[in-house]
Structure 1
Amino acid sequence: MWTSSEIRKQFLEYFQQKGHTIVESSSLVPIDDPTLLFTNAGMNQFKDVFLGIDKRNYVRATTSQKCVRAGGKHNDLDTVGRTPRHHTFFEMLGNFSFGDYFKREAITYAWEFLTEVVKLSPERLWITIYKDDDEAAEIWPQVTNVPPEKIIRLGEADNFWSMGDTGPCGPCSEIMYDRGVEYACSEDCAIGVCDCNRWLEIWNLVFMQYNRDEEGNLTPLPRPSIDTGMGLERLTSVLQGKDSNFDTDLFIPIIKQIEKLTGKVYDPGDAGFPFRVIADHSRACTFLIADGVLPSNDGRGYVLRRILRRAVRFGKVLGIEEPFLYKNVDVVSDIMSEAYPDLLKKSDFVRDVIRMEEERFFVTLHEGMRKVEEILLRTRQQGAELISGEDAFMMYDTYGFPLDLMEDVASENGFEVDTEGFEKMMEQQRDRARNANKGENAFAQDRILAELLAELPATIFSGYNQLEDQSQVIALLVDNEKVNEVWAKEIILVTAATPFYAQSGGQIADIGIIKGQNGTLNVTQVHKIAEWILHYGKLDGKMAVGEQVTLTVDKQRRLDTARNHTATHLLHRALRQVLGEHAQQKGSLVEPERLRFDFSHLAAVTEEELCEIENLVNEAIWSMHDVSKVVKSLDEARDMGAVALFGEKYGDQVRVVSVDDISMELCGGTHVNNTGEIGLFKLLSEGSVGSGLRRIEAVTGRYALDYFNAVEKELKSIAAVLR
């Protein structure tokens, strides 16, 4: 019998043999995509490639992608455990073509893998296609011998895929597995007629061949692409002959662990619903926390908190009255560590986060239930049947009592909750939607600029070795339009090469001037979009495309920023030495004046620990270690032991920044050549910015000296008063 690990491995190896590059699963936290709460499909990490904003050094890729659907538009949370197929966390097997092969090859590969590699019976397979996709209708019987009566045409809702309201889209073909007439819901059971347990969607092949404009018009893409997705859990259930995903080797060890914790025996029927919820949610919590999500009251953290607390509530249904979910982490890690070895390294931290959240929730339940009983009594005395949105929000805001739990308790007592009123009050407190719109607007703006620059060569970055360069202007942009020349305006300027560092990796952009024959651009911001570095600023005078210009970076600002960036690497290593390897970077801001560093840690850092951390950084500075920067393949860098940072997107070639044997990280930022150039490091503050998330602020070099001078001045002033 196939194991889930063998299926995953065979899939990736099959497509590797077909010329595909195996690409590692991206994080569950989408990188550079503010439109998504979580990674929810295999194509997410290639979205910029499909849109033409990004390019890779391969045109065929294959992945086994971690996905979560538990918030926003794609939300399977409420159906988890009730059906045999829905999950919050799942893996999507996929193969992708970026303008290389198209329908015939995609169909051939899918059919060959299913019927020849994993040996599914062709008799069990049916095909659905988009009603107007005559090309697919012609190809399927040619390459698979599927009879025409088993190729079903369906409408846009079922067999046409879009990335959004506008942009790349196209018809899709779905491969359906017929589980047998014994699973039919009726005599009329058929694909497209019912959605019963007989027909199981195995694989979706999306043929991206059109671009949809704002009016809904479809125009052919110059380079059609392929995006396919097949759920590992579903395929595993078929190959292991199981009626439910929860009966496969991906879930059974977790269910066995729950049996051990509860002393109860799992029932695959309705009575096993709590077991299935806990098993599913154990996977989601483990992977989300391992990918850097921590419980909180908004955004991704709120979704994680909701999943975790939902599992705890179903534990109570099974009679568990103390923290238990954290005990499932090791089981999940054992099942998945072959594909995701980092899980084992992070399991201690994941366990601690879950246990602490469980402990908080049990306190919340105890304190909150007394208040809920008061609300229920008051509502009953008023003769009402609806618990007000104000009361529900008060319970959420003051006691951390989740809305879905409030709804459950209300329902058990014959009441409903005014969810609309609750949402109105939530909207007053949060600006999540507004921030999301800003992110979507920024994403759309990047796409517009990428389309304008599409025919231009990539910008060469020369700023690692020099702060001044001469180059040719290859594009001038004003109000999202290309112009050949421009006078005294706010503009975007693109050159063939530039020494200006674009804002990325937590490091702010360079500033400086770009001087032409008849004008000077004051550069106030620099961004990188796909392959191009864009200089933003106010032009004094005139500039034209084709003109030779001199680009000069502000030297002092660059040096101050480089000091802080190298100090950030030293701080990261010191934190891990003092606090433990779980103290991973979760965010940073590197400016000329200061640095800010966010890291994972479940308790306040003590004064003694802060002192030790500061001393370690200063010792590294005063030891005058050389700082080397080399370019390696991603695999070589990992083999060297280089630290890859959470939330960063890496290409096949990466820059490794090393401080002798103290620190080694993947980093594209600017750094000093020797730690002695940093001069001095001073911690200014340490505090909490969220559950399990701490923040340090610090200064280096002349700004550290300014700090000590200010302290000395203040002490002298105090001494004068006391005298």
Structure 2
Amino acid sequence: MSQPKNYGLNELREMFLHFFETKDHLRLPSFSLIPQNDASLLLINSGMAPMKPFFTGEQEPPRHRVTTCQKCIRTGDIENIGHTARHGTYFEMLGNFSFGDYFKNEAIHWAWEFLTSPEWVGLDPNRLYPSVFAGNETTPADDEAFRIWHEEIGIPEDRIFKFGKADNFWEHGSGPCGPCSEIYYDRGEKYGCGKPGCTVGCDCDRYMEVWNVVFSQFDNDGHDHYTELKQKNIDTGMGLERLAVVCQDVDSLFDVDTVMNITNKVTEITGASYGQSLEKDVSLRVITDHIRSASFMICDGVLPSNEGRGYVLRRLLRRAARHGKLLGVNRPFLYEVVDTVVHENEGHYPELRERQAYITKVIRVEEENFAKTIDGGMKIFDQLLAEHKEKGETTFSGADAFKLYDTYGFPIDLTIEMVEDAGMTLDRSAFDQEMQEQKTRAREARKALGDLGWAGVEFGKDIPSTEFVGYDRDTVEDAKVVALVVEDELAEELMTGVDGIVVLDKTPFYAEMGGQVADHGVITCGGAKFEVN
């Protein structure tokens, strides 16, 4: 088998976008990772997600042929990050789209031309294998796509694979969907599992999907009810990192040039050598992946929090920080990698350089705050783990996990990972029960506060007005507490999540009024923490 040309990731991105410009497509910049007017997604997870209105006909697209390279975040397989060659939370999706213009014939021909033509990527046609939708009891097989591949492209019938809905019918929650045709690349025996009959569709890393063209014909309402779209559309998705893996003939997406350069920076800081051991490689990959994700998320306006997309960001940063500790780094360091992330990506995403100082600051503050949590929590966790093992137990109690979460602010997902690393399992149902009981106590506490807590606050009549300083700063170092609202019997429980009111002499928090939502954040004093919601 002939080897592909060794194109760099940034070179491949530009090549793809330029190719489709020659096919009369309008090149658009990547949309933000924060979905606009789409409550079904926390974060943009595919190239077509920001363009749902164009697919459904709700909005008129800027042109009926569009090409993009879209930033994407997916965290459904976060536990696999670093362990496999194909999983990453942040990735770029190359796409060409038709909104009621061309359909299957052009889409298939152009995919083949881009991948195999010597003028473009120039992959060996004999190493490429297409697949089509086999159909099921409710949806017919995609015979049209099969015919185009066989009769027009010239692929022998035995090299065209037919798969079911799980593989060849694309849908991601609600929105446009339809049968798809994937193109797999044979990377060679060295990446195979060696099992008899290993071929396209095997779980090993030999046959890698590099192209997925979706023939968008239906709209899914989110409950598996499908209706025909007014216009037939094309939605192509091709992972940029995967294409780079093929062209550079490397083991995984973490070995691609731009990604490896970030890993090299991480190894420089941590002193851990890539390829030294499986455990260290996993940690280096996790840190590399998560700092890429975090940098782009913060650049697009996501901030760490305890809910929604902010929690996704916080979880990524905390996982990366923990893996830094596994590599022996006991200080904040993730923010030091931001400059490398920016350097490797600023050619196509100049906004990274423009917002670099802001991105670095957000990551550093989150690291420093988490360091205080994890240092105390790790000691308690180690003690609790030792007690379980001394008793010969293989299950880490939910009560202990809740204690770590509730008293020491230790995130449950981190506890689960560390428990699994120790060869044990967590009693999640018991933890969930403890959480539910805490919520019940909190509700009762709010009832006990009554109008005093949540209405006119009569006690405040003799307290001077709070000075608002949030127009020119978002932090205050010297604010003083002038009043607290909480029942006496609840005072000792304040560290366990009970609600209350803190009144300050000055504050950067904007209140919910004037049509604007309230600011969220944290008030800290010594070891105490009050979450402002």
- Whether TM exceeds 0.5 here: the answer is yes
RMSD between aligned alpha carbons? 3.0
SS of 1:95's partner is strand
Contact 1:685 1:696 (C-alpha < 8 Å) held by counterparts? no
In structure 2, the residue matched to 1:370 is 379
**1:50 aligned onto 2:55:** yes
Q: Name the CA distance, whole Å, in 2 between partners of 1:22 and 1:278.
A: 32
In structure 2, distance between residues paired with 1:184 and 1:259: 29
Once the two structures are superposed, the pairs formed by residues 129-278 of structure 1 within 5 Å of their partners are: 129-131=132-134, 132-164=141-173, 168-185=176-193, 186-192=195-201, 194-211=202-219, 220-267=228-275, 270=278, 271-278=280-287
One-letter amino acid of the structure 2 residue matched with residue 294 of structure 1: L
Following TM superposition, by how much is the alpha carbon of 1:296 offset from its aligned partner in structure 2, in angstroms? 1.6
Unaligned stretches of 5+ residues in structure 2: 1-5, 135-140, 441-469, 480-503, 516-533
Q: Does 1:31 align with 2:40?
A: no
- Say if 1:80 and 1:32 are closer, same or farther in 2 by CA, change over 3 A: same
For residues 219-249 of structure 1, give each alpha carbon's deviation from its aligned partner in whole angstroms, at most 9, with x where no partner exists: 5433111111000101011112212211111
Rounded Cα–Cα distance in structure 2 between residues aligned with 1:210 and 1:390: 47
Q: Secondary structure at the match of 1:53?
A: coil
Check 1:353–1:139 CA distance in 2 against 1; reply closer, same or farther (3 A cut): same
* SS of aligned partner of 1:250: helix
Deviation at residue 149 of structure 1 after TM alignment: 1.6
Alpha-carbon distance in structure 2 between the residues aligned to 1:245 and 1:312: 21
Equivalent position of 1:12 in the other structure: 17
Kindly state the Cα deviation for residue 107 of structure 1 after the two structures are TM-superposed. 0.7
Higher strand share: 1
Contact 2:173 2:222 in 1 (8 A): no
Q: Say if 1:686 and 1:696, in contact at 8 Å, map to a contact too.
A: no
Q: Amino acid of the residue matched to residue 216 of structure 2?
A: M
Please state how far the C-alpha of 1:35 moved relative to its aligned partner: 1.2
CA distance in 2, matches of 1:687, 1:336: 38
Residue by residue, what CA displacement relative to the aligned partner does 1:65-109 show, whole Å, maximum 9, x if unpaired? 101111xxxx12111111122101110001111111100011111
1:308 paired residue among 295, 317, 340: 317
**How far apart, in 2, do the equivalents of 1:248 and 1:685 lie?**
53
Superposed, 1:370-389 pairs within 5 Å as 370-376=379-385, 379=388, 385-389=394-398
Q: Paired residue for 2:113?
A: 112
Distance in 2 between residues matched to 1:213 and 1:280, nearest whole Å? 33
CA distance in 1, matches of 2:277, 2:12: 27
In structure 2, what residue type is equivalent to 1:85? R
SS of the residue corresponding to residue 415 of structure 2 reads helix
Is 1:126–2:129 an aligned residue pair? yes
SS at match of 2:510: strand
Task: Find the structure with the greater CA-based Rg.
Answer: 1
Partners of 1:215 and 1:381 lie apart in 2 by 49
1:424–1:64 CA distance, 2 compared to 1 (3 A): farther
Cα-to-partner distance string for 1:387-423 (whole Å, 9 max, x where unaligned): 3323323322332212233234434656432123334
Would the alpha carbon gap of residues 377 and 85 (structure 1) be closer, same or farther in structure 2, given more than 3 Å must change? closer
How far off is 1:323 after superposition?
A: 0.9
Contact 2:40 2:173 in 1 (8 A): no
Would the alpha carbon gap of residues 230 and 269 (structure 1) be closer, same or farther in structure 2, given more than 3 Å must change?
A: farther
Residues of 2 paired with 1:173 and 1:358: CA distance? 43
1:32 CA displacement: 1.1
Alignment of 1:321 onto 2:193: no
Query: Which of 492, 510, 513 is equivalent to 1:695?
Result: 510
SS for the counterpart of 1:695 is coil
Corresponding residue for residue 677 of structure 1: none
After superposition, residues 460-479 of structure 1 pair within 5 angstroms as none
Q: Quickly say closer, same or farther: Cα 1:345–1:385, change in 2 above 3 A.
A: same
Cα distance in 1 between the residues matched to 2:185 and 2:41: 30
> Can you list the C-alpha shifts for 1:204-223, whole angstroms capped at 9, x where unaligned?
11101234679967554331
Letter aligned with residue 14 of structure 2: K
Question: 1-side partners of 2:333 and 2:144: how far apart?
Answer: 54
How far is the alpha carbon of 1:196 from its aligned partner? 1.0
Matches within 5 A, 1:547-558: none
List aligned pairs for 1:456-495, cutoff 5 A. none
The one-letter amino acid of 1:201's match is E
Amino acid corresponding to residue 65 of structure 1 in structure 2? Q
Deviations along 1:152-200, one digit per CA (max 9) or x if unpaired, are 11111110123546x64311000100112333322310113x2111100
Identity of aligned residues (%): 45
1:368 Cα deviation from its structure 2 partner: 1.4
Q: Relative contact order (alpha carbons < 8 A, sep ≥ 6): 1 or 2 greater?
A: 2
